[in-house]
A and B are shown apart, each in its own frame.
Chain A
Amino acid sequence: MPSVLPLGDPAPSDGLLPAQAAAGAADRAFGLYVHIPFCAVRCGYCDFNTYTATELGGGASQDAYAGTAVSEVDLAARVLTASGLPDRPLSTVFFGGGTPTLLPAEDLALILRAAISTWGIEDGAEVTTEANPDSVTPESLAVLKAAGFTRVSFGMQSAVPHVLKVLDRTHSPARVPQVVRWAREAGLAVSLDLIYGTPGESLDDWRLSLETALSYEPDHISAYALIVEDGTKLAAQIRRGQVPGIDDDDHAAKYELADQLITAAGLGWYEVSNWARTPEQACRHNLAYWRGDDWWGIGPGAHSHVGGVRWWNVKHPTAYAGRLGQGVSPAAGRETLDAETRNVERVMLAARLSGGLRIDSLGDAGRRQVAGLIADSLVEPTAAFRGTLVLTLKGRLLADAVVRRILPD
């Protein structure tokens, strides 16, 4: 979760949702996100809502965290029922961070079991955890598998030591194949996260990272362009000229290389930054975000969405635990989207998916743009002839510009 919370309306202390949230809920999938706000060290580029033990003044809050998270699960169940939502089994669960695997696997298992016993879970549901290569063992992975996890996403980022160093990553490259093998042996599907465009990374460095990651035959790859976020150590280093800045052309070249190599290895893109070995292995939890399904986000700073109502929890783990300790909703703010805003979000998110966007769902002005987008090689002509707007490789690199063109002014 990015660490700066949006500005929104105040959320009520009982957490109750406005009436609009329940409408049509039976037709939407329901997922759970669990935020684990702890890391061993903070990486210089990262602005996620996460804290090291020293920042929180000792490990106490980590020990108590699973219990606090379970109390939000209880609160979530009460609020949803009281707000008129039907009982729905979980279709996806995602533990993210921070570094979920910094907590004992038993703690993650405890939270997952509480959630399953509260809502139930669909057959074949996807249950993912993010993990740092440093923080898993064959034993911990076995515990996760036994609790119901199906998938693990490792923050590999790069295979090149000098790049990992600029990123402040602590793991050694050799650790990655090891943890991938352990996860496989435990029966978990594997995804690898990569970052490209790190200052000092050459195109060959990136090629090496890609080839290395692909050689581990992951089921899924996410490749993110390094974003320099305000207030991070990396931003300060670039400002002071200690490391070179970011170059968009370099990003573009590396994205093209990523798509070329990953596709050649047999994976297919399904979202701008994500590739899966088979369509079934796409991350269904993330797809639910992008398709506007419902989910509850547990944890400090976590975001939730139910039927056009978005809300987010207080950021700091102490404030979060304090609220739940008093039986008060940890929601800090929320927004109730009107039809127009929902449409903007739908277009903005769906345009990035390989499944694309129904052209007839666009407004007149947006539809009139399609021919020009084809002429500019930004959308696939054949898909467009069949009524769907799907981005080309060039279009994916210019996805924000495409979205601005097809949205109403």
Chain B
Amino acid sequence: MSPMARTAPVPAATDPAIIRNFCIIAHIDHGKSTLADRMLQYTGVVQSRDMKAQYLDRMDIERERGITIKSQAVRMPWERDGVSYALNMIDTPGHVDFTYEVSRSLAACEGAVLLVDAAQGIEAQTLANLYLAMENNLTIIPVLNKIDLPAAQPEKYAAELASLIGGDPEDVLRVSGKTGAGVEALLDKIVHDLPAPQGDPNAPARAMIFDSVYDTYRGVVTYVRVVDGMLHPRERIQMMSTRATHELLEIGVSSPEPTPSKGLGVGEVGYLITGVKDVRQSKVGDTVTNLAKPASESLPGYADAKPMVFSGLYPLDGADYPVLRDALEKLMLNDAALVYEPETSAALGFGFRVGFLGLLHLEITRERLEREYNLALISTAPNVEYEVTLEDKKVVQVTNPSEYPTGKVAEVREPMVSATILAPNEFVGAIMELCQSRRGVLGGMDYLSEDRVEIRYRLPLAEIVFDFFDILKSKTRGYGSLDWKADGEQAADLVKVDIMLQGEQVDAFSAITHRDKAYAYGVMMTGKLRELIPRQQFEVPIQAAIGSRIIARESIRAIRKDVLAKCYGGDITRKRKLLEKQKEGKKRMKMVGTVEVPQEAFIAALTTDESKDKAKKK
């Protein structure tokens, strides 16, 4: 066993040969952050008394939900055979919505610790993240975690892992992030197995931006991995894509607190502060170089995260619109994956159409807006983006059903995904049935082991992004796991369903669905609204329509009694208080034509069961 390093290598003066850059990747919840905790502790960068579980999950939302949302990089010293090494560890998120976080972390590393819960085995994101790591030519260290659990089956899963990546089951390390067992051996193995970073110390500086975060006190903090050359404080740097130049006010490493250094050299991972206020000026994937001695070629970047799901966000109180606008602007500083533009809804007033990576991303963003900016929000039913071609060949991108063109439509295309589902083989039938009902096309099926299969489907994104995972979980008694990635688009028989109250279309309730599902949507929504909208002084017809064709209808009967008919004697105060309460209630109504619709009805109608809390895991 190696002892804790007596002296830590100094940044800017560290030989690349003693640097090891790795990330921890795994399926959600397999224990990445807990393992990272032990590493922080055993390498001495966090004292035991300061330790708390999932130390690197710092956002309130991360801590409450027990999941990692943002990757975190930390520099740790580790001594082996009398040599002090500098390890840069990146803890990554496991949820599929944040896969893009994983892929950019990979670009900063030579190796990956592939962690597998020894009680769960290989799951869909295990495969997806492994695939990404291999694509980046990383050296993989397979590790079984949670071996302290009574339900752990290390032999079985070691064999599975070995057959997956090649090698001997004996080489699969067994650790417990909880008890710390095997963690020191893992650190040793990282030093031993992973290649040192390669780079030319004398070439013009090139550093890859793999994260960019807005901090209220320090402005934008840019995380980089230096590939060639060296960066120093106070020198002028240039962003190679935009040619924008900045002065390097501070440069340093996270250990895990930010620690300024004299610079960063080949293979080192650290942060830069330039005083810019907008993360977009420090774009993830861009290359930083030295203005005085610029590099001629930038490093291969990676694609921007592409929003997959769109939803309208509206303040409950119209007066909060400016607050929402400022809040989105600030959140965006920290979350380059967030895109938005203003939109108006006849029913909901002024708001924004916001693009998200997935439902969890939507939910977390909404929660942060509500919590950190004290807003009460309505979010409209989420939808994917459609491409509508009109007969006159005009093409319209539709991120909001109410923007669906009214002219003659020649074709509608919808985004597709390729999905990988892992489950015990007894559930194959149920899974195929589910995917078929979601318009999926089987791509293939493989046995990972005797009783575990990998099933691949191509499916419309709209069919999987909402309730698919919950249904999959329940159909596989919790054993099924899912990973998906974007995979082009296809033309489909899609229609827009409108909902009308009293003949007046309510834009917030419009939806684009497959023709076969339009009727079900119409029946569901009209039924829901009938329950949710209080009776009015007149009868209110509720209709669902495709174009001018009505496909479902309900009606709310006129209210006949709205009067307090009881003897209250002289207690006029009570009667007046009741009236005041009624009037308050009326203020919280939104008018749709002449129909008073309580805000709660909007919220309830737009809260699909899927989006309620399901994306939460705890």
A residues touching B (Cβ–Cβ < 8 Å)?
1-2, 4, 6, 8, 33, 96, 193, 222-225, 227, 248-249, 251-253, 255, 272-273, 289, 295, 297, 302-305, 310, 312, 335, 341, 344-345, 348-349, 376, 396-401, 403-404, 407, 409
Give how many A-B residue pairs fall within 8 Å (CB-CB). Answer: 107
Contact yes or no, A249 B563, CB < 8 A: no
B residues touching A (Cβ–Cβ < 8 Å)?
537-538, 557, 559-577, 579, 582-583, 586-587
In the complex the two chains form, what is the Cα distance from A407 to B538 in whole Å?
A: 21
Contact yes or no, B563 A2, CB < 8 A: no
In the complex the two chains form, what is the Cα distance from A206 to B583 in whole Å?
A: 33
Contact yes or no, B573 A8, CB < 8 A: yes
CB distance from B96 to the nearest CB of A (A): 44
Contact yes or no, A289 B572, CB < 8 A: yes
User: Which residue from A2, A225, A310, A335 sits with its C-beta under 8 Å from B565?
Assistant: A225
8 shortest interchain CB distances as A-B pairs: A252-B560, A303-B570, A225-B565, A399-B563, A252-B561, A6-B573, A401-B562, A248-B561
CB distance from A388 to the nearest CB of B (A): 19
In the complex the two chains form, what is the Cα distance from A223 to B566 in whole Å?
A: 8
Residue in A96, A345, A400 whose Cβ sees the most chain B Cβ within 10 Å:
A400
In the complex the two chains form, what is the Cα distance from A376 to B537 in whole Å?
A: 9
The chain A residue sitting closest to B560, CB to CB, is A252
Residue in B568, B570, B572 whose Cβ sees the most chain A Cβ within 10 Å:
B570
In the complex the two chains form, what is the Cα distance from A401 to B562 in whole Å?
A: 6
In the complex the two chains form, what is the Cα distance from A302 to B570 in whole Å?
A: 8
Chain B residues closer than 8 Å to A96, beta-carbon distance? 569
Contacts A397-B562, A401-B562 known; A289 to B583 CB distance under 8 Å? no
Q: A398-B560, A404-B583 are in contact. List 12 more A-B contacts (CB 8 A).
A: A33-B569, A96-B569, A227-B566, A248-B561, A252-B561, A303-B571, A348-B575, A348-B576, A397-B560, A398-B537, A400-B579, A404-B582
Contacts A397-B563, A398-B563, A400-B579 known; A1 to B569 CB distance under 8 Å? yes
Chain B residues closer than 8 Å to A396, beta-carbon distance? 563
Contact yes or no, B559 A345, CB < 8 A: no
In the complex the two chains form, what is the Cα distance from A238 to B559 in whole Å?
A: 22
Contact yes or no, B564 A400, CB < 8 A: yes
Contact yes or no, B562 A1, CB < 8 A: no
In the complex the two chains form, what is the Cα distance from A341 to B577 in whole Å?
A: 11
Chain A residues closer than 8 Å to B576, beta-carbon distance? 341, 344-345, 348
Contact yes or no, B561 A2, CB < 8 A: no
Chain B residues closer than 8 Å to A253, beta-carbon distance? 560
Chain A residues closer than 8 Å to B568, beta-carbon distance? 2
Contacts A348-B575, A376-B537 known; A272 to B563 CB distance under 8 Å? yes
The chain A residue sitting closest to B564, CB to CB, is A400
The chain B residue sitting closest to A376, CB to CB, is B537
Chain B residues closer than 8 Å to A305, beta-carbon distance? 570, 572
In the complex the two chains form, what is the Cα distance from A377 to B109 in whole Å?
A: 77
CB distance from A286 to the nearest CB of B (A): 8
Contact yes or no, B566 A273, CB < 8 A: yes
Chain A residues closer than 8 Å to B562, beta-carbon distance? 397-401
Chain A residues closer than 8 Å to B572, beta-carbon distance? 289, 303, 305, 310, 345, 349
CB distance from A254 to the nearest CB of B (A): 10
User: Which residue from B560, B570, B573, B583 sits with its C-beta under 8 Å from A249?
Assistant: B560
In the complex the two chains form, what is the Cα distance from A295 to B571 in whole Å?
A: 12
Contact yes or no, B571 A6, CB < 8 A: yes
In the complex the two chains form, what is the Cα distance from A396 to B572 in whole Å?
A: 19
In the complex the two chains form, what is the Cα distance from A267 to B561 in whole Å?
A: 23
CB distance from A142 to the nearest CB of B (A): 27
Contact yes or no, B566 A225, CB < 8 A: yes
User: Which residue from B537, B560, B566, B567 sits with its C-beta under 8 Å from A248?
Assistant: B560
In the complex the two chains form, what is the Cα distance from A35 to B573 in whole Å?
A: 17
CB pairs A–B below 8 angstroms (14 shown)? A2-B569, A6-B571, A6-B573, A248-B559, A249-B557, A249-B561, A272-B563, A305-B572, A312-B571, A397-B561, A397-B562, A403-B579, A404-B583, A407-B579
In the complex the two chains form, what is the Cα distance from A345 to B565 in whole Å?
A: 16
CB distance from B505 to the nearest CB of A (A): 24
In the complex the two chains form, what is the Cα distance from A400 to B582 in whole Å?
A: 9
Chain A residues closer than 8 Å to B538, beta-carbon distance? 376
Chain A residues closer than 8 Å to B583, beta-carbon distance? 404, 407, 409
Contacts A397-B561, A397-B562, A400-B564 known; A289 to B570 CB distance under 8 Å? yes
In the complex the two chains form, what is the Cα distance from A344 to B581 in whole Å?
A: 13
Chain A residues closer than 8 Å to B557, beta-carbon distance? 249
CB distance from A94 to the nearest CB of B (A): 8
In the complex the two chains form, what is the Cα distance from A403 to B565 in whole Å?
A: 14
User: Which residue from B537, B574, B575 sits with its C-beta under 8 Å from A401?
Assistant: B537
Contact yes or no, B569 A398, CB < 8 A: no
The chain A residue sitting closest to B567, CB to CB, is A224
Contact yes or no, B561 A251, CB < 8 A: yes
In the complex the two chains form, what is the Cα distance from A141 to B569 in whole Å?
A: 23
Chain B residues closer than 8 Å to A401, beta-carbon distance? 537, 559, 562
Chain B residues closer than 8 Å to A312, beta-carbon distance? 571, 573
Chain A residues closer than 8 Å to B571, beta-carbon distance? 1-2, 6, 303, 312
Chain B residues closer than 8 Å to A225, beta-carbon distance? 561, 565-566
In the complex the two chains form, what is the Cα distance from A251 to B587 in whole Å?
A: 27
Chain A residues closer than 8 Å to B574, beta-carbon distance? 2, 4, 6
In the complex the two chains form, what is the Cα distance from A310 to B569 in whole Å?
A: 13
In the complex the two chains form, what is the Cα distance from A188 to B584 in whole Å?
A: 45
The chain A residue sitting closest to B568, CB to CB, is A2
Contact yes or no, B569 A273, CB < 8 A: no
In the complex the two chains form, what is the Cα distance from A227 to B576 in whole Å?
A: 17
In the complex the two chains form, what is the Cα distance from A305 to B234 in whole Å?
A: 79
Chain A residues closer than 8 Å to B577, beta-carbon distance? 6
Chain B residues closer than 8 Å to A272, beta-carbon distance? 563, 565
Contact yes or no, B561 A404, CB < 8 A: no
Chain B residues closer than 8 Å to A344, beta-carbon distance? 576, 579
In the complex the two chains form, what is the Cα distance from A1 to B574 in whole Å?
A: 10
Chain A residues closer than 8 Å to B564, beta-carbon distance? 227, 400
Contact yes or no, A1 B573, CB < 8 A: no
Chain B residues closer than 8 Å to A404, beta-carbon distance? 579, 582-583, 586
In the complex the two chains form, what is the Cα distance from A4 to B573 in whole Å?
A: 11
Contacts A348-B575, A404-B586 known; A33 to B566 CB distance under 8 Å? no
The chain A residue sitting closest to B573, CB to CB, is A6
CB distance from A274 to the nearest CB of B (A): 9
CB distance from B584 to the nearest CB of A (A): 11
In the complex the two chains form, what is the Cα distance from A96 to B571 in whole Å?
A: 13
Chain A residues closer than 8 Å to B567, beta-carbon distance? 193, 222, 224, 273
Chain A residues closer than 8 Å to B537, beta-carbon distance? 376, 398, 401
Contacts A397-B562, A399-B563, A401-B562 known; A289 to B575 CB distance under 8 Å? no
Residue in A224, A253, A396, A401 whose Cβ sees the most chain B Cβ within 10 Å:
A401
CB distance from A197 to the nearest CB of B (A): 9
User: Which residue from B561, B570, B573 sits with its C-beta under 8 Å from A398?
Assistant: B561
Contact yes or no, A224 B586, CB < 8 A: no
Chain A residues closer than 8 Å to B570, beta-carbon distance? 1, 33, 289, 295, 297, 302-305
Contact yes or no, A255 B565, CB < 8 A: yes
Chain B residues closer than 8 Å to A251, beta-carbon distance? 561, 565
In the complex the two chains form, what is the Cα distance from A304 to B569 in whole Å?
A: 10
CB distance from A31 to the nearest CB of B (A): 9
Contact yes or no, A400 B566, CB < 8 A: no
In the complex the two chains form, what is the Cα distance from A253 to B576 in whole Å?
A: 26
In the complex the two chains form, what is the Cα distance from A403 to B559 in whole Å?
A: 16
In the complex the two chains form, what is the Cα distance from A399 to B578 in whole Å?
A: 13
CB distance from A303 to the nearest CB of B (A): 4
In the complex the two chains form, what is the Cα distance from A17 to B93 in whole Å?
A: 69
In the complex the two chains form, what is the Cα distance from A349 to B579 in whole Å?
A: 11
Contacts A348-B579, A376-B537 known; A400 to B563 CB distance under 8 Å? yes
In the complex the two chains form, what is the Cα distance from A409 to B567 in whole Å?
A: 27
User: Which residue from B560, B561, B566, B569 sits with its C-beta under 8 Å from A289?
Assistant: B569
